[in-house]
Amino acid sequence: HSREIQPIKWLQANDLQKEVYQHLAYYVPKIYCRGPNPAPQREDMLAQHILLGPMEWYLCGEDPAFGFPKLEQANKPSHLCGRVFKVGEPTYSCRDCAVDPTCVLCMECFLGSIHREHRYRMTTSGGGGFCDCGDTEAWKEGPYCQKHELNTSETAEEEDPLVQLPEDMVARAYNIFAITFKYAVDILTWEKENELPGLEMIEKSDTYYCMLFNDEVHTYEQVIYTLQKAVNCTQKEAIGFATTVDRDGRRSVRYGDFQYCDQAKSVIVRNTSRQTKPLKVQVMHSSIVAHQSFGLKLLTWLGSVIGYSDGLRRILCQVGLQEGPDGENSSLVDKLMLYDSKLWKGARNVYHQLFMSSLLMDLKYKKLFAIRFARNYERLQSDFMKDDHDRELSIADLSIQIFTVPSLARMLITEENLMTTIIKTFMDHLRHRDIQGRFQFERYTALQAFKFRRVQSLILDLKYVLISKPTEWSDDLRRKFLEGFDAFLELLKCMQGMDPITRQVGQHIEMEPEWEAAFTLQMKLTLVISMMQDWCALDEKVLIEAYKKCLTVLMQCHSGFTDGEQPIVLSMCGHSVETIRYCVSQEKVSIHLPVSRLLAGLHVLLSKTEVAYKFPELLPLSELSPPMLIEHPLRCLVLCAQVHAGMWRRNGFSLVNQIYYYHNVKCRREMFDKDIVMLQTGVSMMDPNHFLMIMLSRFELYQIFSTPDYGKRFSTENTNKDVVQQNNTLIEEMLYLIIMIVGERFSPGIGQVNATDEIKREIIHQLSIRPMAHSELVKALPEDENRETGMESVIEEVACFKKPGLTGRGLYELKPECAKNFNLYFYHFSRAEQSKAEEAQRKLKRQNREDTALPPPALPPFCPLFASLVNILQSDVMLCIMGTILQWAVEHNGYAWSESMLQRVLHLIGMALQEEKQHLENLSEENVVTFTFTQKISKPGEAPNNSPSILAMLETLQNAPHLEVHKDMIRWILKTFNTIKKLRESSSSSPLAETEGNIMEESSRDKDKAERKRKAEIARLRREKIMAQMSEMQRHFINENKELFQQTLEELDTSTSGAHENSPVISDAKLTALGPEQTRVAEPRQVVMCILCQEEQEVKVDSRAMVLAAFIQRSTVLSKNRNKITPDPEKYDPIFMHPDLSCGTHTGSCGHIMHAHCWQRYFDAVQAKEQRRQQRLRVHTSYDVENGEFLCPLCECLSNTVIPLLPPPRVLFNRLDFSGRPNLTQWIKTLSQQVKALHLLRNEDCASHSGHSEKMDQLQLPEGFRPDFKLKNPYSESIKEMLTTFGTATYKVGLKVHPNEEDPRVPIMCWGSCAYTIQTIERILADEDKPLFGHLPCRQDDCLTSLTRFAAAHWTVSSLSAVQGHFCTLLASLVPNEKNGNLPCILDIDMFHLLVSLVLSFPAIHCQDFSGVSLGTGDLHLFHLVTMAHIVQILLTSSTEENGMDQENTNSEEEVAVLTLYKFLCQCTGSALKEISSGWHLWRNLKAGIMPFLRCSALFFHYLNGVPAPSEIQVNGANQFEHLCSYLSLPNNLTCLFQENSEILNTLIESNNEVKRYLEGKRHAISYARESNKLIDLPDDYSCLINQASNFSCPKSGGDKSRAPTLCLVCGTMLCSQSYCCQTELEGEDVGACTAHTYTCGSGVGIFLRVRECQVLFLAGKTKGCFYPPPYLDDYGETDQGLRRGNPLHLCKERFKKIQKLWQQHSITEEIGHAQEANQTLVGIDWQHL
C-alpha cells in the first residue's frame, strides 16, 4: 500500500527532498546488501515495490500503469533511433552515403533503409555507441529507415517537447528528477567510509564488505589464485568472483565485521603487490554499498522513464546540466564526468547509457552537453591518462559521438577553439623533449609507453573533428582553424628531425634504439596531416596563410643549417654551384621531416589553384630558398640508398624497419611521397645542373663523375670489391631517384591529372606483378580517413574479375590494353615487386610474340609550377652522367659498372625521347620546341675530346654480345630516335616525306618481324633437341630400373587379364553375390608392395602379413538421436545396434600398404623419437603416440592402427555342398537344434567338470554336428597377430576402454565397425546420387575390402565359444528360444548390423557342422531371415499416408501380396495397426524403405565374396531395385519370402510387448528409410548469424552476453565458447563449451562456426583442432576470417557442401592432422579451452 500512500504524502510535502531521503535512508539498507551474496531478483522486486513504485506514482500523479501509456501516446517520438549497441551486435555503415565510417545503423534500421542496396560494410559492435538512424548530419542520403521516417512528417524541428506535458506534471518531474538524480550522483561520488550524503544511517548494523575492484593489469589467473588464498574459497567460487569483477568492475568477496573484511583486504594487497601495483580492494560499510546499488538502479530507472516521453527527457537534461550553487562544473552531469575515472566499470556503463539516451538524444541539449564536454576536455583526458581502464569504458570515449557531428564539430572549433585544445592537450602529455625541443622516445619506460598508447586516442579525436570538411568558411572559422594549424605546426616542429641517427662504423650497435614510438606517432598522424591539407585546399586564403606559416616554421627548424662551415664549390661541364659540406654517412640524419613534407603538400595544392596559373607572382614563392627546401628530403633519400647499398649494416634492424615503414603504404603518403614532391618542388625552381651536382655530392659520387676517367681508375685501383659494389648501388639508386623526380607526375597539382588517374596507375602497377584478390589490392593502396581507397570507381576500367573455384579467391587481372602504361621504375614498387613485375611483363610480351623491351610509358604533362622539371633530362650534367655510364658499358672492363645501371640510363634516355616526341606532337604554331634531347645526344662529347656521342655509343652497344637482354630496349630507343628525327623534318617539309617515313617505319617493322620469326625457329629447334635428350634419358632410366617397371607392368597385366577372364562369365550368366548359386570367380593373385622397404609380396594366408594404415574413430555422423546418454563403457553390451545409430565405429584408410613388421619397426621408432622430443621440448605433435597414433609414412595421413590384408576368407571355410538344400524353415530348425545343443553343453561345462553326465547322453546331437571339433587356424602367426592388433584397436576406440584382447566384445566391435563403415559409404553415394559400384575412390575400395575380409576372419583368433554365444544371442532376436530372454524387440535393432554380425559369426558354428549343408546356404538363409525381419520392421513403422498421392490402379502381384501381408500383420498385432487399403502405397513404401538395406547388403556381400557387381548397378538407371534383388538372390517380389516361409512371420512378431506399446503410441520407433544427416541449414546473409549470436547470452552467467558465441554446425546449438563461465569438467579436465559439446554431439569430433570471427572450427578430442575457411564469401569471392573487412558476406553453397562432405566422410580428424602438420603453431593452441 505504500505505493499509493507514500506519493500522497510526497505530493503534500513542503520539503520533498527531506521526505524522499528519509524514505530512502530507511528502506534502502533494508532491501539491498543483506548478506554476502547479492540477490538481484529479490532486490529488484522490493525496490520496484517500495522505492520506485511510489516515485512513479508521484511523477504521474496517478497509477503509473495508466500514466505511462498516456504519456507514450501523447508523445511525438523522436525520429532518432538511438539504439545503444550491445557487445557483438551487428552494425552497418554505408560506404556510399555515410558521412564518415563511424556513422552506423542497427540491423533493424539497416534492413528498412535504402542502404541495403548500396555498398555497405558490416561490423560487430564492441559495445557502447548507438544507431545513427534519423541523424540527418550522419548521412548524405537516406538518413531515415522506413520506421523512423514515419516520425518525421509532423515534427517541426524546433518545437519544444515540453508543451506536450501537463504543467503540473512538468513541475513534479522537475522535483523528482532533481532529487533522485542528485541522490544517485552524490552516493556514487561519495568517498567517506562511515557517513552518508544527507542521509542518516538508520540501521547501524555495522556490517562491511570487502570490495574487490577490477583493473586491466592483473590477469584472470592471478586474481583467481589470490582470492583462493585470501578469502579461502574454492576455485569455482574464485572464478565466479573474478568473472563478476571483470564484468561489473567490482564484487564483494567477503561480508562481516570490519576486522574480518580488513584481514582479507591485506592478504589480497600483499599477494598482488609484488611485481605490479596491488589489486584495488576497499572495505566498505554495507549501507554505502546498499545506497550505491540503489543509486545505479535509479539511473537505469531514469533512463527508462524518459523513454516514455521526449518532454521528460528534456526535463532530465535540464536537471542534469543545471549549474549548482558552486558555479562552474557543479552540474550533476559535470560532476559525474569529472568523477568518471574513479568509478567502477558497472557504474560507468550505467551512467554512460543514461547520457546516451538523454543528452545525446535531445538535439538542443546535445549541443549544450557538447560544450560542457569540450570545456572539460583537458581534464577528462588527463583523468583518462591516469585511469587504467580501456577507452571504451571512459567518458572520454563519448568524443566519437560528439565530434563526428559536423555542425557540433564546427561549432566547437569556432566557439570553444576545440582544435587548439586537443592539440595542446596532446602536447602536454608528451613532455619528453631533447635540447632542441624535439620529442624524445629513447629509454621509454613501460609506464610511459602505456601512457603514450593512451595519448594516441587524442589524435583520433582530432581526426573526428576534421573528418567532415566545411562547405562554407566564416572569418571565425578561418581564424580558429589557422590557430589550430599553428598549434599543429608546433606539434610537427617537435617531430621534425626527431630520432636522429648516425652511421655506425667499425662495431655493430650495442642496443637497438627505440624507433617504434616515433613511427607510431607518424602513422597515427598521417591521416590528420592529409586532412589538414584537405581543409586548406578548400579555401585559397586559408591555403596561402597556412603555406606562409608552414614556411616560417620550416625556416625556424633549419635556422643555421648553413652556419659554421665554409661553403664548398662544385663544378662540372662548365657549371658551378655553392653548397655546404655535408655527408649523410658521417653526420646525423633523421627520417622524420613532417614540416618539410607538409609544406610540400601545400605547395602541390597551391600549384592546383587558379592563382598559380594566372598570377604566380602573388604566391609567397620568392621567400623560398630551393637548396634549403631540398636539403633534408634529399638526405633522407640518400640514407635509403646507402642502407640499400649496405653501408648502414652495423646500425641493426631498427633502421631497416624504419626504412621499410618510410616506404610502406601506411606511411608513404606523408613520408616518402612527399619527399619526392619536395625535391620536385625545389628542383623546379633551380638550374637542373646545379641540382644534379648537389645530388651527386650528397650521394658521395661527385668525384666519380666530375673527374674524367676517375671511375675507371677508381675501379682498377680499388681492390676492395665491397666499396666498388657499394658505389655501383649508389649510382643505380641515384639514377632511380632522377627517374622518379622527372617521371612521378600522377598527383593532381604536379602533373595535369585527376585523382582517378592516380589510383588507376597504382592498380595497374599492382596488377602488373600478378593477378590479385580484392583484399590484397585494398591492402596495397592507401586508405583515406573514410577507409576508402577509391578503387571501386576505376577497377572496371583497368581489370577483369575472375571468379573463384571451390577453394581460393576471386582475382582481378590486368586488362591487356593497360600493359602499355607499365613503368618498370614505378616509385611504389619494392625491390622484390619490381623484379617480379619485370619478369611478369617480359613473359607476357614473349607470349604475345612481341619484343621484350619495357620502354617508359608516355607521361601526362606537368602543371606550370613544375614544368621546368623535364629539363633535367637534357641538362649538361645529366648528359655527362649518361655518357659516362654508357662509356663504361662500351669499354666493359672490370666491375665498376652494372647492368641495372645501364638499364636505368636507357630508361632515362627513353623518357627523354618520349618527352621530346610528345612536345613535337603537341606543337602549336607559336611555340618553339625547347626540348632538344635528340640533337644533344647526336653531338660528340666534349671532355675528353672527341669522345663518341651518346647515340654512337648506343649503336655500338646494340651489337654487344654481353648485353643481349637490353638489345630490344636499345633497338626501341634507336627506332624512337628515328621517329623523332622524322617528326622534326616533317614539321618543316612536305607531307610526302612523312608517308615515306611511314614506309621506312613499316619496312623496319617487317625486318623486326622476320628477325623474331628466325629466333622463334631457333628456339623451337632447341626445344626439340632437349626433348630428344630427355626421352633418351628416360629410356636409360627404365633400363636401369628394369625390375621396378617390370613389376608395375605385371600388376597392370594381372588386373587387366583378371578382368578378361571374368568378362565372358559376366556377360552370359547373371551375377549372384551369395548363396549356393553364388557366381564363382577366380580370385586374381594379389601382389602388393611395401611402401617402407619397397619389397613386393603376395597376399596369402600363410605368408607374412601385409597391412594398411587405418584410422578408427567413434562416429555420430549417422546418428538419429544425439541426446542419447552414453552408457558406461565397461558394462555396455554392444551386440545389438539400435536403429538410431547413435554411435558407431568408423574405419578409414589412406590405402597405403606396408609389411606388418616394417610398420612395427616404423611405429617403434616414431614412439621413441616422440618420447625424446616431448622430454626435450614439452610440446605436442599433431598425433598422440601414446594413443597409438602415427602418420602414414607416405602421405602423412593420421592413423591409429593397421588392417591386415587377407585373401577372401570364406573360401577357406566353405565345404562342398552335398546335402539336399534345406529350405529356410528346415534350416532354422536344424540350426536351433545345434544352438540348443551348444547351450546344454555350455551349461554342462559350468555345472560340473566331472566328465559326461547323463544329461549329455540325453542330448540328441543333430546329425553331423560335432561340437568337439576344433578347427585349425589357417593363418600365419604374423597375420594372426595383426588380426588381434586391429581387433583390439577397434574395441579400444569403439568402446573407449582400455585394450583387452580377451574381452568377448572384441569380435562384436569388429563386425560393428564393418557394418557401420559400409552404411556411411552407402549414404555418401546415395547423397551424391552416384551408382553403388564403380565410383568409390581406390583408397575406400581397398579399405572396405580389407575391413570386410578382416571382420570375416577375426573369429579365428577369438574364443570359439564366445563367438558361438554371440551368434546364438543374435539369432535369438529373430528366432526366440527359451534360453535367451530379454532381447531387444525388432523395432530396436538395426537390421544391417544384425545381418553382418550373424553372417560373420556363423562360421563359428558351421565349422562344427559336417551335415553337408554349405556355408553359402547358411549365408543365404540368414540374409533372407534378416530381410524378412526388416520388411516387418518397415511395415510396422511406415507412416503411410494414403491420400494426396496419385496411384495407379494396376494392382500388380507385388501390391496384392504386400497388402495381404500387411493385413496378416494387423491380425497378429491385434488390429492395432492402422488400416491401409492401398497395396500400391504399401509396396512403394516398402521398396523405398528397404533400399538402403539392400544397397548395404550388396556392398557387404560384394566385398565378402568378391563377386563383381553387374554392370546395371554400376550406373544409375531404371530398375535398380530388381537388379539388386537379382544380385542378392532375392525374389523381386520380396513378400514371396513370407509365402515360402510362412511360419517365420509368427515368430518375428510373436507376443512382443514393445511392438504393442509402439502401435498404441506409447513409444517412439525409427521409421524407414532413415534420411541422411546433413549439417544445419545456414542463412544466406551472414549478418543473420551475427544477429542471432548477439542475442545469445551465456547460459551459465545469468543473461550475460557471450564473448565467443559459437554455433555447432552438426546440431545447431549455440555455445558460449572460450570462456571461464562455461567451462565444465570432462574426464577430470576443465574443458570449454565446444569441447564438452563434441563429446555428446559428435563423439569427440565437432564442426563449429565461430560467429564473431567468421571462422569454421574443427575439433577432435581434447588436443586436436584447426581453423578452416568459412563457407561465406563476399562479392569479390573472398572469405573474411576475423570479419576485418566487413564486406557483405553470402553463403557459398558449394563450399558448405565441401565441409559437409568432409564430415560425412569422417575426414575431419584427418583434415586437422594435415593442417597441424602444415602449421606448427596450431599444435600449441589449447583447443580444449574453446
Q: Summarize as ranges the residues that interact with Zn ion (CB under 5 A).
A: 81, 83, 94, 96-97, 106, 109, 115, 118, 131, 133, 145, 148, 1090, 1092-1093, 1150, 1152, 1155, 1158, 1192, 1194-1195, 1197, 1594, 1596, 1608, 1610-1611, 1613, 1616, 1619, 1621-1622, 1641
Min CB(1639)–Zn ion separation in Å: 10
Of the pair 738, 1156, the CB lying nearest Zn ion is at: 1156
Instruction: Give yes or no for a contact between 768 and 819, defined as CB atoms under 8 angstroms apart.
Output: yes
Instruction: Give the shortest CB-1638-to-Zn ion separation in angstroms.
Output: 8
Residue number with CB closer to Zn ion (1414 or 1638): 1638
Question: Distance between CA 231 and CA 245 in Å, rounded?
Answer: 15
Nearest approach in angstroms of CB 83 to Zn ion is 4
Query: Cα(460)–Cα(1039) distance, rounded to whole angstroms?
Result: 74
| Helix ranges, 1194-1276 (H) | 1210-1213, 1224-1247, 1254-1258
Q: Whole-number minimum distance, CB 1604 to Zn ion, in Å? A: 9
Q: Which is nearer to Zn ion, 639 or 1659 (CB)?
A: 1659
CA–CA separation, 309 and 1262 (whole Å):
96
Three-state DSSP string of 1455-1479: HHHHHHHHHHHHHHCCCCCCCCCCH
**Count of other CB atoms within 10 angstroms of residue 30:** 13
Residue 1104 beta carbon to Zn ion: minimum distance, rounded to whole angstroms: 9
Length of the chain: 1730
Alpha-carbon distance of 64 to 44, in angstroms, equals: 17
Give the span between the Cα atoms of 1065 and 1062, in whole angstroms.
5
- Please report which helix (H) or strand (E) contains residue 516, including its range: helix 516-537
Tell me the C-alpha distance between 185 and 190, whole Å: 8
Least distance from Zn ion to the Cβ atom of residue 1711, Å: 15
CB of 1204 or CB of 1209, closer to Zn ion: 1204
Residue closest to 145 by CA, chosen among 158, 155, 134, 130: 134
Q: Give dist(CA 126, CA 103) in Å, integer.
A: 14
Is 131 or 1235 the residue whose CB approaches Zn ion more closely? Answer: 131
Could you tell me the smallest distance in angstroms from the CB atom of residue 1155 to Zn ion?
A: 3
Nearer to Zn ion, 139 or 294 (CB): 139
Residue 772: strand pairing partners: 812
* Cα separation values, 1488 from 1245, 1435, 1573, Å: 48, 11, 17
- Least Å distance, CB 1195 to Zn ion, is 3
Minimum CB–partner distance for residue 46 and Zn ion (Å): 29
Rounded CA-CA distance 1541/1225 in Å is 6
Q: Which three cell numbers stand for residue 1309?
A: 566391435
Cell numbers for 519: 613511427
Closest to Zn ion by CB, 141 vs 722, is 141
Burial class (CB in 10 A: 0-12, 13-18, 19+), 1178: exposed
Minimum CB distance to Zn ion smaller for 342 or for 1603: 1603
- Residue 813 beta carbon to Zn ion: minimum distance, rounded to whole angstroms: 29
Q: The C-alpha cell of 142 is what? A: 537516406
Closest distance of CB 392 from Zn ion, Å: 20
Comparison of 692 and 1610: residue with beta carbon closer to Zn ion: 1610
C-alpha to C-alpha distance for 333 and 340, rounded to whole angstroms: 11
Are 929 and 983 spatial neighbours (Cβ–Cβ below 8 Å)? Answer: no
Q: How far is the CB of 1688 from Zn ion (least distance, A)?
A: 13
Q: At what angle do helices 594-608 and 672-684 cross, to 10 degrees?
A: 60
The helix-helix angle for 475-495 and 540-557 (nearest 10°) equals: 20
Shortest Cβ 873–Zn ion spacing (Å): 48
Nearest residue (CB) to Zn ion, 1362 versus 1708: 1708
The CB-of-1036 to Zn ion minimum distance in angstroms stands at: 28
Nearer to Zn ion, 394 or 1199 (CB): 1199
Choice between 263 and 1593, CB closer to Zn ion: 1593
Instruction: Show the 3-state SS of 871-928.
Output: HHHHCHHHHHHHHHHHHHHHHCCCCCCCHHHHHHHHHHHHHHHHHHHHHHHCCCCCCC
Contacts of 1147 (CB under 8 A, 6+ apart): 1110, 1111, 1112, 1203, 1290, 1313, 1314, 1317, 1343, 1347
Kindly tell me which of 19 and 1196 has the beta carbon lying closer to Zn ion.
1196
Distance separating alpha carbons of residues 95 and 115, to the nearest angstrom? 9
Least distance CB 1043 / Zn ion (angstroms):
16
**Hey, what's the cell of 1606?**
559459437
Number of CB atoms found within 10 A of residue 801's CB: 15
By beta-carbon proximity to Zn ion, the closer residue of 1572 and 1613 is: 1613
CB of 1330 to Zn ion, least distance (A): 24
Q: Cβ neighbours of residue 1702 under 8 Å, at least 6 residues apart?
A: 1708, 1711
Who contacts 222 (Cβ-Cβ below 8 Å, separation ≥6)?
272
Which CB, 162 or 1194, lies closer to Zn ion? Answer: 1194
Give ∠ CA 1254-1258-1262 in degrees, rounded to 5.
140
d(CA 1302, CA 1359): 8
How much is the CA Rg of the chain, to the nearest whole Å? 44
Q: Toward Zn ion, which CB reaches closer, 685 or 1576?
A: 1576
Which lies closer to Zn ion via its Cβ, residue 1541 or residue 1573?
1573
CB of 148 vs Zn ion, minimal distance in Å: 4
CB of 1140 to Zn ion, least distance (A): 16
Question: Which is closer to Zn ion, CB of 83 or CB of 218?
Answer: 83
